[in-house]
């Protein structure tokens, strides 16, 4: 009888270990460019950048941050860390475990300096209207006495201002760029990879200390000569001529920017990417440029 009980317990233990192994087995594949971090949240230290389509080993642990976003515990090339479910997909395993018995080292983001208040612009005085001519004269000769003999057949064409080129501001000081581009709206979003933001109705730039992201949704600005409203064929040709590598996506086209000496990250020789979104007519409707990982 004792032998039977021992055998039963051994089988139960083996089943438990097998169940745990099956629960921990699984694969996480990245669906976008993402950081592997030391802990389950944006406040944890970045370990390495993972490109889209990277296959990771799921370690059977899932956590949820204060924004309600799931994070998976994974292993990549022998390194353990956490990856966000917003940019990855788990397959072949359950993700219901929220317990982690391994200590994590948190990273406290450095404080962002409070910007100086934007001065209130001085209103431009409205010019006084010129008095209307007196048309009470009794004869045509008096009324048309000062009309020139010939009038111009067409008004001169209005000069279209050249779009402000943004490429020279990438990775430059964020506050200096905002002042130079006359961006008056300011906000901080500590849940974002690029929390400090300056914007107007058309342009948004953001980052921590330097410009890490642009978003253009209207006229007045260009990225490597490409502007909103340009046809996609011309836009792609301009990006290619600037030396950027093209990778198409479902919304339009993406172009990889080669890593600069002061790049915050280098993934396969690239530090950032530029997305061009097209509308139904094949025209550029939006431009965005950001560091390669999110």
Give residue limits of the domains in the chain. 17-110, 164-291
Q: Report pLDDT for 68.
A: 85
Q: Report pLDDT for 145.
A: 53
Cβ within 8 Å of residue 292, ≥6 positions away: 33, 49, 51, 256, 265, 267, 270, 271, 272, 273
Give Cα separations from 98 to 44, 69, 94, 101 (angstroms): 17, 12, 11, 10
Q: Report pLDDT for 136.
A: 53
Q: Report pLDDT for 260.
A: 78
pTM, to two decimals:
0.48
Q: Report pLDDT for 253.
A: 86
How many Å apart are CA 287 and CA 278, to the nearest integer?
9
Average pLDDT per run of 10 along the chain, which is 294 residues long? 49 48 70 88 87 90 89 93 90 58 44 52 55 52 51 53 90 92 89 89 93 94 96 94 82 83 82 91 93 68
Q: Which residues pair with 73 in a beta bridge?
A: 82
Q: Report pLDDT for 247.
A: 80
Q: Which residues pair with 204 in a beta bridge?
A: 199, 215
How many Å apart are CA 34 and CA 76, to the nearest integer?
13
Q: Domain 17-110, CATH 3.40.50.280 — does that match?
A: no
């Amino acid at each position: 009888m004792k032998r039977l009980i021992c055998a039963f317990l051994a089988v139960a233990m083996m089943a438990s270990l097998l169940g745990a192994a099956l629960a921990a087995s699984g694969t996480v594949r990245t669906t976008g460019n993402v950081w592997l971090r030391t802990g389950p949240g944006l406040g944890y230290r970045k370990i390495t950048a993972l490109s889209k389509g990277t296959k990771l080993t799921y370690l059977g642990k899932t956590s949820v941050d204060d924004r309600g976003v799931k994070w998976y515990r994974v292993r990549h090339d022998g390194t353990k860390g956490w990856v966000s479910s917003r940019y990855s997909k788990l397959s072949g395993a359950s993700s219901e475990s929220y317990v982690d018995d391994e200590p994590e080292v948190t990273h406290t983001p450095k404080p962002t300096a409070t910007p100086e208040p934007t001065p209130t612009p001085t209103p431009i005085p409205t010019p006084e209207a010129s008095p209307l001519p007196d048309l009470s004269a009794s004869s045509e000769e008096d009324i048309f006495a000062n009309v020139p003999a010939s009038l111009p057949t067409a008004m001169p064409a209005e000069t279209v201002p050249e779009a402000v080129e943004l490429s020279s501001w990438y990775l430059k000081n964020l506050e200096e760029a905002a002042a130079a581009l006359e961006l008056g709206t300011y906000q901080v979003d500590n849940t974002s990879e690029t929390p400090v933001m300056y914007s107007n109705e058309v342009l948004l730039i953001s980052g921590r200390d330097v410009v890490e992201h642009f978003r253009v949704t209207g006229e007045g600005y260009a990225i490597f000569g490409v502007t909103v409203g340009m046809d996609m064929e011309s836009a792609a040709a301009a990006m290619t001529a600037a030396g950027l590598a093209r990778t198409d996506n479902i919304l339009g086209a993406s172009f990889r920017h080669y890593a600069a000496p002061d790049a915050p990250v280098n993934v396969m020789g690239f530090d950032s990417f530029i997305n061009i979104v097209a509308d139904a007519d094949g025209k550029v409707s939006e431009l965005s440029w950001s560091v390669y990982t999110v």
